[in-house]
């Protein structure tokens, strides 16, 4: 009888420890994997994980639409336009003074602040999304 009580108590304690461990893991996001979702972050949308195909399409658009002819992406040295290396990583503000966000970069591309030609009629919204995803991968 005492052995049965001890056995039940042990099972109960182990069960409680297991449940607590699972709950802690869930709360930390370690047990349930998170899907690729957009989360609001100071008014801008960010991907938790970036899709390689979207990045490649953005890089291709950046080159083929003429962005690379004015903007460096692998050097901090400015060309005709400012370097975009680390745009979303280290640069606090755009030339217009706007904080670097998806929206402010999109606005700058569509209707630029200064000498850059407008691209509103040359890029659709999906293409702008792809370029912005690509720009987010550029390390400072």
* pLDDT digit string, tens, across residues 56-111: 999 999 999 999 999 999 888 888 999 999 999 877 788 888 899 999 999 999 99
Buried b (16+ CB within 10 A) or exposed e, 98-135: eebbbebbbbbbeebeeebeebeeebeeebbbbbbbbb
Q: How confident is the model at residue 30 (pLDDT cuts 50, 70, 90)?
A: very low
Same domain, 10 and 56: no
Same domain, 70 and 50: yes
Same domain, 10 and 47: no
Q: How confident is the model at residue 32 (pLDDT cuts 50, 70, 90)?
A: very low
Q: Nearest to residue 109, comparing CAs of 74, 75, 90, 135?
A: 135
Same domain, 44 and 111: yes
Q: Give the domain extent around 9.
A: 1-33
Same domain, 65 and 94: yes
Same domain, 75 and 9: no
């Amino acid at each position: 009888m005492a052995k049965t009580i001890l056995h039940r108590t042990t099972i109960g304690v182990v069960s409680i420890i297991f449940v607590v461990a699972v709950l802690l893991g869930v709360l930390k996001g370690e047990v349930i994997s998170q899907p690729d979702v957009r989360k609001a972050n100071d008014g801008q949308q960010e991907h938790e994980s970036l899709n390689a195909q979207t990045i490649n399409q953005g890089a291709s658009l950046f080159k083929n639409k003429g962005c690379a002819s004015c903007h460096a992406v692998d050097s901090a040295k400015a060309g005709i336009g400012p370097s975009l290396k680390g745009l979303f990583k280290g640069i606090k503000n755009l030339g217009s003074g706007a904080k670097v966000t998806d929206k402010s970069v999109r606005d700058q591309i569509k209707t630029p602040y200064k000498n850059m030609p407008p691209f509103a009629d040359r890029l659709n919204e999906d293409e702008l999304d792809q370029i912005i995803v690509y720009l987010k991968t550029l390390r400072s």
